[in-house]
Each structure stands twice: as C-alpha cells, then as structure tokens.
Amino acid sequence: MPRRPENDCLPFLKALSDESRWNIVRTLVSSPDPLTLGDLASRLGLSDYNASRHTRILNEAGIVTVKREGRFKWIGIHSGFRKRLRTETDSELLDLGCCRFEFEQSSADSRGNKHLHKNATIPNLRSMSDPARYLMIGGFLGAGKTTAVAAVARHLSDAGKRVGLITNDQGRELVDTKMLRSRGFATEEIAGGCFCCKFNSLVDAAARLDEDAAPEVFIAEPVGSCTDLVATVTYPLRRIYGDRFSIAPLSVLVDPMRARRILGLEAGQNFSEKVVYIYRKQLEEADLIVISKRDLLDEAGEAELRSALEREFPKARVLAVSARTGEGMEDWFSVLESEDQVREIAMEIDYDTYAEGEALLGWLNATVELTTTGEIDTTPLLQQLAREIQQRLVSAGAEVAHLKMTLSPDNAFAGEVAVVNLVRNDFSPEMGQELDEPIEGGQIILNLRAEADPEALESIVRESIATVATPECRLSLEHLERFRPGRPVPTHRDA
Ligand SMILES: Nc1nc2c(ncn2[C@@H]2O[C@H](COP(=O)(O)OP(=O)(O)OP(=O)(O)O)[C@@H](O)[C@H]2O)c(=O)[nH]1
Ligand SMILES: [Mg+2]
C-alpha cells in the first residue's frame, strides 16, 4: 500500500511538478559543484528569465541554494535536500518519504570524485536521419585549436552546412566559448573536466545542440592538457552511437615554435618532462598532425619541423596550415570532410605519469568587472594587463601555456568582444579581436594556464590587476577559481 505523503514532502513535490524544474534538479544532482545560473540556462535551453524564475521556486522550497558572487548566481543542491539522496551504483535515489525518484548519475568529474569507469551510464541520443559528422580538433594548450575550430566552422557554414561546436575546459567561464559564440556559432560548453571524464556530458551537449541547431557537423575542442582521446572518446562514440556519427580522423594541432622546442630543434624555455609526456602522447595518437600558424614559419623551418614530426610520429600524416591566412586549409578541410577515422589498437599510456603531468599545470579562471569614469580604449588596457601577468610569470620562472582574456563591453551587441592571447613567455601578447569603439565599462574573462602553483598564479593575477587599475578605470575581481587538474578518470576506455 502506498505510504501517505508526509507534510514536509508536499512543498518538494509541488516545486518538482514542472519539467524544467525537474531538469534543473537532475542537472544539479549530477554536477559535483554548483553551477552558475547562466550555465544552467544554457545547458537546459532555458531563457535567463525562466531559469531565474524556476530557481527561485526551487530555492523557496528548500531544494536549491542560490549564492551571489559579483554578477554571478551560483546554484547548488541544498544540503537538507541532498540528505534525501542516496547513491546507488549507477544512480541517485531521491527518497521524499511519500515516493522515490531515480536520477541517472553523471560521468566522473575530472577530479576523480566519482568513478563510473565500469558501470558507465549511457545517455540517450535522438536518432538523427543521417549520421552527423563528428570532428575533434585537439592539441596542446595554445596550439591554435579555437582559432582553427572557428575557421573550419566558417568554411562549413559558408558551404551551407549546419554546424554545432563543443568547447571543453577544466574550469568554468571560458574565453573560448565566449569567442566562438561571438562569431555566431551554436556552441555548448562542457566545463569542469575533460571530454574523456565527462563522456556523458559530451553526448548531452551534442543532444542539446541537435535540438537547437540540428547540426550536420559537430566540432569538438578538447582540453589542451588532455590525451588518450581516441580510446576514451572517439572509440566509445563509435561503439555506442556508431549509427549516429561518422567520425573524422583525429587532428592534433601543434604551435610550430612550441613543437620545435619540444622536439629539440630550437632552444628556449620549455615545460618539464611529465608535461612533455602529455604533449608527445597527444601526437602519438593523432591521425593528422596539423602544424598551425604556418605564417610564423619560413620554408626551411617548416620543412625541418615536418620531417621531425614524420620521423617521430610515423602513424600520422602531417599538414601545415594557417587559420589566419588560410594557407593549407583546403587540404585539411578535404580530409575532415571526406575521410573516416580508421579503427586501430589504441596507444598505450601510463595514467600515473599523465596525471602527474596534468597536476604540474596551474589553472586559473577569473572575471573582472571594469568601471570607468569616462571612455577608455580597450586594446592598450588588455595588452598592459597581459604584459603585467607575463612579466610576473617570467620572474617566477613559470612557463605560460596559454593566457587568454576577453573583454565584453557593458550592453554589448552580440559579437562585440576583444580578445588577447599569450602562448609563450618570450612572445608578445597578441590581440585576436579588437573593439572598434572606446567603452565605458565591461567585463574581462581571464583564463590562465601555466606550469606553476595555482596559488602563485592567483597572486600574479591579483598584483597585475592592482597595477593596471587607476581611479578612472577600476578593476574589481568578481570571481576567481584556481586549481590543478585532478587525475583523469575516463568514463570509458576502448583499447
Ligand atoms: N600567427 C598565427 N597565430 C594564430 C593562428 N591561429 C591561432 N593563432 C594564435 O594562437 C593563439 C592561441 O590560439 P587559440 O586558438 O586560442 O589556441 P587554443 O589551442 O584554442 O588554446 P587553448 O584552448 O587555451 O588550449 C592566439 O593568439 C591566436 O590568435 C595562425 O594561423 N597564425
Ligand atoms: Mg581553445
């Protein structure tokens, strides 16, 4: 006989009796950390207004907490409500007293909190009429992936194809997502861990894009410190969803200057051995090694790098392209559009060394609010901030992997965003996009990845912001997270 609802159960049931609110709770239950309201809205395809309205109702019912940090609202599961959840092998059981619900558990988070390697759940993906093309463009931090993704997406959409992009990072508030959305592409972000550890989120992201934009081509950019993507992402995709995707060969981009140093063709500051292990593993599993930024190389330099790559990584074909000038891109497009990845035995990898290499990298994401007393030019401001950070990294002997920042003006129209990047300590910060007009206020998103303690990165960023700020141009740090990536625990591994 069913039990009578207990009184304290009714507010929960009332709040949960709406599909959007149910989905919000399901998403939060499977997320190891709170999510921003904006992130929740985009994951669930809700407007900001509706996400905010539903969250308020859930908050009033004691199901979620809402914490304001600057301009962000962080939404998490209320500790009292969490007590009603029990973890089973593949799911979370919610016991309200009157009835029980089952939430499918998400994949493992990158910090290894949950290990679903053995009993991984398999999300549903609506059957697509034709298999969608799945392209993955990998490569080390700063190799030029996002720039290349934008160029490939532009080429495909100019050819009349619907394209959906998936970005990925260990943290939240991503410059890459901001940049790609500013170019008008449907983009989903998987934050808080790499694709291999968030396989289900990758599939969910594809499903969301499919609902919104019905892409014929998905382009995924994995985290630049990740490897073993063939065994943990593309082979499982083929095995589980083989009829829905046709998978292109894995492209791995290399920044030519960084690659020349790693392969010993040139002297200069470099990463330590275990970080280089990851770099080399990325190349070892590549079907195509794509030398990016070809415009930075002369012919002799390109030929030397090409032959070193061919010698050391004989399995891969080597191409050289410049997403900036378009050189060599046609050859790459034709492989991406016409060839399928060939199934081979996956490479061997030592996860201990891989994890130690990842843990040597410090990760910092921050948002900075900009308030001014008049109009200011954004290019000198971003360049100065980047140079301040660069000088302090150099003094600390911390090799930068990638420093990238966007600046969005308040009340910006879509597409208005300035971008600055730095990919080596001995390079100059470069503007990737500039704003045409001076601004009177805005927001900076800052992503820094370097071989250094995250605490040291925080001090460097705080000091640099303080140095650049003036009474006419105030910079206030609204949100900052910094960490070392945890041990990768893939959801699947098909060797
Ligand atoms: N000269 C030149 N620079 C390029 C080219 N492609 C990318 N870059 C620059 O390389 C830097 C890094 O580019 P991104 O596309 O952000 O690199 P990424 O691999 O996505 O970086 P992460 O996501 O941080 O790993 C930026 O300053 C780009 O403008 C190119 O073809 N030529
Ligand atoms: Mg990127």
- Read off the pLDDT of each residue in 261-266 and give the average, rounded to a whole number: 94
Report pTM.
0.76
Whether residue 455 sits in one domain with residue 346: no
pLDDT of residue 413: 60
Same domain, 311 and 436: no
Closest CA to 227 of 250, 200, 257, 260: 250
Same domain, 75 and 192: no
Q: What average pLDDT does the segment 470-474 reach? A: 95
Answer whether 173's CB lies under 8 Å from 479's CB. Answer: yes
Mean pLDDT of 73-101: 76
- Cβ atoms within 10 Å of 235's Cβ, excluding its own: 20
Q: Is residue 379 part of a domain?
A: yes
- Clarify whether residues 180 and 47 are in a common domain: no
CATH of the domain at 80: 1.10.10.10
Q: Among 136, 147, 290, 364, which residue has the most ligand 1 atoms within 8 Å of its CB, making it the best to mutate?
A: 147
Other C-beta atoms within 10 Å of 102: how many? 11
pLDDT single digits (tens) 42-81: 777 777 778 888 999 999 999 999 887 666 688 888 888 8
- Could you list the residue range(s) of the whole structural domain that residue 142 is in? 132-356
Angle at which helix 19-29 crosses helix 48-60, to 10 degrees, equals 80
Residue 64 lies in a domain: yes
Residue corresponding to tokens 């800052």 = 446
Q: Are 324 and 354 in contact (CB under 8 A)?
A: no
| pLDDT score of 454 | 96
| Closest-approaching ligand to the CA atom of 224 | 1
Q: Which residues line ligand 1 (CB under 6 A)?
A: 139, 141-147, 176, 224, 292-293, 295-296, 322-324, 402, 404, 421, 423, 430, 432
Quick one: which atom of ligand 1 is closest to the CA of 420?
27
pLDDT at 485 over 50: yes
Q: For 335-369, how does the pLDDT look when each residue is reduced to its tens digit (9 = 90+)?
A: 999 999 998 889 999 999 999 999 999 999 999 99
Based on the domain organization, do 336 and 281 belong to the same domain? yes
Is pLDDT of 165 > 80? yes
Query: Of 307, 334, 356, which residue sits at a domain end?
Result: 356
Three-state secondary structure call for residue 253: strand
The C-alpha atoms of residue 337 and residue 339 are separated, in whole angstroms, by: 6
> What was the pLDDT predicted at 152?
97
Q: What is the pLDDT of residue 45?
A: 73
Q: Is residue 489 part of a domain?
A: no
Residue nearest ligand 1's atom 27 by CA: 421
Total domains in the chain come to: 3
Instruction: Flag the least confident range among 256-265, 393-402, 433-442.
Output: 433-442
Q: What is the pLDDT of residue 174?
A: 78
Distance of CA 443 to the CA centre of its chain: 20
Residue 424, pLDDT score:
93
CB neighbours of residue 466 within 10 Å: 11
| Three-class secondary structure of residue 407 per DSSP | strand
Q: What is the CATH number of the domain that holds 232?
A: 3.40.50.300
pLDDT > 90? residue 390:
yes
Residue 452 clears pLDDT 70, i.e. is over it: yes
Per-residue pLDDT of 100-158, as tens digits, reads: 777 655 433 333 333 223 334 455 555 555 789 999 999 999 999 999 999 999 999 99
Q: Say if residue 144 is in the same domain as residue 88.
A: no
Within a domain: 494: no
The set of residues, in sequence order, having a beta carbon less than 8 Å from that of 2 and lying 6+ positions away, is: 98, 99
Nearest atom within ligand 1 for CA of residue 179: 16
3-state DSSP assignment of residue 186? strand
Least confident of 95-104, 181-190, 460-469: 95-104
**Domain edge (last residue) among 317, 336, 356:** 356
pLDDT at 32 exceeding the cut of 80: no
pLDDT at 107: 39
Cα-based distances in Å from 389 to 393, 463, 475? 6, 8, 15
Inside any domain, residue 413: yes
Q: What is the SS3 assignment for 127-172?
A: CCCCCEEEEEEEECCCCCHHHHHHHHHHHHHHCCCCEEEEEECCCC
Q: What per-residue confidence (pLDDT) applies to 109?
A: 34
395 and 321 belong to one structural domain = no
CA 402-41-85 angle, to 5 degrees, is 100
Which residue has its alpha carbon closest to ligand 1 atom 21? 142
- Domain membership of residue 119 (yes or no) is no
Which ligand 1 atom sits closest to the C-alpha of 143? 19
Give the ligand at the shortest distance from the Cα of 327.
1
Task: Residue 192: name the closest of 488, 492, 494 by CA.
Answer: 488
The last residue of one of the domains, among 356, 376, 395, is 356
Higher-pLDDT residue of 75 and 286 is 286
Nearest ligand, CA 176: 2
Write the pLDDT tens digit of every residue in 305-335: 999 999 999 999 999 999 999 999 999 999 9
Let me know if residue 492 belongs to a domain.
no
Is 396 exposed, middle or buried, given 0-12, 13-18 or 19+ CB atoms closer than 10 A?
middle
Q: Is residue 72 located within the same domain as residue 178?
A: no
The protein residues having their C-beta less than 5 angstroms from ligand 2 (an ion) are 145-146, 176
Nearest 5°: phi and psi at 160? 90, 10
For 450-461, the DSSP string reads ESS-HHHHHHHH
Q: Please tell me what DSSP assigns to residue 18.
A: S
Band of the pLDDT at 3, cuts 50, 70, 90?
very low
| Cα 165 to ligand 2 centroid, rounded to whole Å | 12
Structure tokens, 211: 């609902």
What's the number of CA atoms in the CB half-sphere (13 Å) around residue 448?
36
